[in-house]
Amino acid sequence: MNTAEIRRRFLDYFATRGHEVVPSAPLLYNDPTLLFVNAGMVPFKPYFTGAETAPFDRATSVQKCVRTLDIEEVGKTTRHGTFFQMNGNFSFGDYFKAEAIRYAWELVTGSQDAGGLGFDPERVWVTVLHSDDEAAALWANIAGLPAERIQRRGLLDNYWHMGIPGPGGPCSEIYIDRGPAYGRDGGPVVDEDRFLEIWNLVFMQEELSTVRAKDDFDTLGDLPRKNIDTGMGLERVALLLQDVDNLYEIDQVFPVIQRAVELSGRRYGRGGDDGRQDDVRMRVVADHIRSSLMLIADGVTPGNEARGYVLRRLLRRTVRSMRLLGVHDPVLPELLPVSRDAMGAAYPEVVENFDRIAGIAYGEEDAFRRTLTTGTQIFDLAVSDAKTAQQPQLSGERAFQLHDTYGFPIDLTLEMASEQGLSVDADGFRRLMQEQRDRAKADAKSKKAGAASTEVYRELRALGLTPFTGYEELVTESRVRGIVRDGALVESAGEGDVVEVVLEQTPFYAESGGQDSDAGLIRADGATLEVVDVQRPVKGLVVHRVRVADGELRSGVDVSAEVDGEWRLGACQAHSGTHVVHAALRQVLGPTALQSGSYNKPGYLRLDFAWPSGLSPALRSDVEEAANQAIRLDLNVRANYMSLAEARELGALALFGETYGEEVRVVEMGGRWSRELCGGTHVQHSSQIGLVTLNAESSVGSGVRRVEAFVGIEAFRYLARERALVSGLTEALKVQPDQLTDRVHRLVEQLKTAERQIAELKSRNVLAEVGTIAAKAHDMWGVGYIGHHAEGVAGGDLRTLALEVRNRVQDTPAVVAVVGGTAEKPAVVVVTTQGARDRGLKAGDLVRTASEVLGGRGGGKDDVAQGGGTDGSRVGEALTAVEHAVGHVVQS
């Protein structure tokens, strides 16, 4: 049974039993404690915690998940995969243990002809919490399981909570016996490789007050409404029903391994130490390709922080693993389409958006291949230093620097060091990596702990949502529901205080969807508040950050909330301008130029979009022209509410990574010309935008570009500044504006010609000194040493000078050391003749001596080497240090 069919059967089973089928949330979920959705219950967490009221009593979903804490274990065991799918059924105060157990048993053991999964009941084992007699009795009565196949375990295994105060409860896990070929008999308490867990049923029934550890917490008592949260590992069920050894061999993953086999010429599953290493690498490739595909599909782009760094690491580990399999050509164009075809049946969006996905992934591989080139150069220098110091291994610090700073994988460092006859201090490397992980975990823990500070907002949200009246009006009469200072409710705030205020209703737009928050005033009897920020810390609740300009504000008083009209007009222009620029990009570049992020505020917008390369001036001009033509056409702008399915059928574009409810707001400009899901504020006609002027275009990651623009009056001001600049230049150069470009080009060419002439004269002057410098040689026990300070000479000229001096003394043992450059950036070149090298003198060693004195480093070959530093005041000391080093070698 293929994985997509298992997924369909699960959803169908629960849909026919009154469960709302909820689509998977994007992997980028709006949760400050998570990089990605990492469990099936995450989108339902507000319902379980009580922050929001569930719109249904029971639900089911197949949720996309990503976990990367155990990324180093991927491929080594059958338990670790970065991307996985979690089937779940959920009850919010509806049914409880008996129904959850009955549903699970029926689906797991029901015949495949009747829509079940068809597992043999004799192969099913379960675990329950040691004290949960009720669950044990239900398994015996409903499923008829004998006592020996109902095993009891402690809190570490069979109790669930979020790690913070909130709901918790015992759980019951379902296992399938894979048979004696996979391990020892005796149930999951003996061997969890043979007895594979497929489903965890969590019975949320208690309120936790303090959580110290997984098995150390305090309870307040029973929850007023008991809930069910279950998670069935889709990949685990698939590997059992497809009769394969591990999750890397199921139908959604294994095709990538097969393609890796074809590309590398290696066999999968051939045994032996080398074979096991190859198997691990192929599993890493298959897992990471799928994870990368799904992350990019949900709007993640490679970067150096947070989610972007995770994606970058997955893609680079894929390329590295294929390199270790012997494939040095680009591999993502060969592998990513295979994963697309395997996942497309369950997730059609990966097929629909593949051009965008591929552009981002392929761009990252190209960048990493360049990184490998740079990293190899740094590695070569590290090897040279180790050999010079006669050290048998590279230090853990150097290996970690290569990994962390230059993105150079440790496996490649180990492999290449071995080729050079060196080992690597792997323990030191692992220690530094662990320190980095510990820092990351501490940071994550602090963020998780910070989630508890939302308690005050949950209390306020429980009193009702905050209606937004700003689409219809800029001034709304309202009432203060609560005042928050330092995370706690207070009764009042005085002049000069900065606090957060929640109103019964508000016209202030809270920052979201790329649009900055509104500015304005809140007026109460005897008090004036300046609104400095507006946010939604929990869904449905608008919080105003204010400064009390005068008077005193008290909770419960009536207020007038007044949005600054000029600010809102600018915000509407900028947000509508963002939609116009997005549509213009797609009109000029094609449908794959999809928005991946945006920010706009009065007078300014920026928009990130998928595109593999920079825009030429002509393309930028075309985009700007298309945008302003749409403004000139005075397109009608309107917003309609409809179901998400209707919006998709209409072709409305959704922002990657955003979560949308079943009812969405669709903003149209000129009908189909621009149609996007959007909750922001907009102008009524495109002409009200005024003008859009693109002022910048840049890269923000592999396959992602950013355009920036001024909008409305700011666009006019920008053009006015440009006009003033042109006017000043035309006056200074005495030309007409239309002649300015040609005149500047001629001046640049004249300047380049003059610089070349100066460089040639400088080189001739430098070379004219060769004879004089060569004559400075003095004998040091049979070796001539020439040290010279060529002030202001740098680059190729310094190297040429040193080589020309060496040519004058080529027939004798001699060392030439020349220091040039500037006081802030001195440069040094050391060259040796064959006679000097026969005496054991190496230019690379000598240039390192000089560079260290100058506050830098250097290296090179035995005959020619160069380096530099940061302290030009020590040139004399550097030349003397080389002289002493020469004397030391020739006397030893």
Identity of residue 412: L
Place of tokens 């998928």: 610
Residue 706 Cα to chain centre, angstroms: 17
If you ran DSSP here, which 8-state letter would residue 147 be given? G
Is 545 exposed, middle or buried (CB count within 10 Å of its CB: 0-12, 13-18, 19+)?
A: middle
65 annotated ligand-binding residue: no
- Please tell me whether residue 295 adopts helix, strand or coil conformation: helix
- Please tell me whether residue 451 adopts helix, strand or coil conformation: helix
Nearest to 832 by CA among 814, 852, 819: 814
Helix (H), strand (E) counts: the chain: 26, 33
Nearest to 153 by CA among 176, 125, 120, 130: 130
Nearest to 288 by CA among 240, 248, 239: 248
789 annotated ligand-binding residue: no
Pairing assessment for the beta strands 124-129 and 150-153 based on DSSP bridges:
parallel
582 annotated ligand-binding residue: no
Place of tokens 């890269």: 699
**Residue 525 near residue 533, CB atoms below 8 Å:** no
Cα separation, 580 vs 573, in Å, equals 10
If you ran DSSP here, which 8-state letter would residue 330 be given? -
Identity of residue 491: E
Nearest to 658 by CA among 296, 299, 193, 243: 299
| CB-CB neighbours of 82 under 10 Å | 25
Residue 872, CA distances (Å) to 466, 762, 789, 825 in order = 65, 21, 11, 7
Cα separation, 641 vs 492, in Å, equals 39
- Give the chain's length: 892
Is 343 exposed, middle or buried (CB count within 10 Å of its CB: 0-12, 13-18, 19+)?
A: buried
- Helices (H), ranges, 389-519: 396-404, 410-419, 426-450, 455-461
Cα separation, 802 vs 843, in Å, equals 12
403 annotated ligand-binding residue: no
Give the tokens for residue 805.
């001096």
Cα separation, 7 vs 53, in Å, equals 27
Q: Which residues contact 139 (CB under 8 A, 6 or more apart)?
A: 101, 126, 128, 145, 150, 172
Binding residues: 575, 579, 678, 682
Instruction: Tell me the binding residues for Zn(2+).
Output: 575, 579, 678, 682
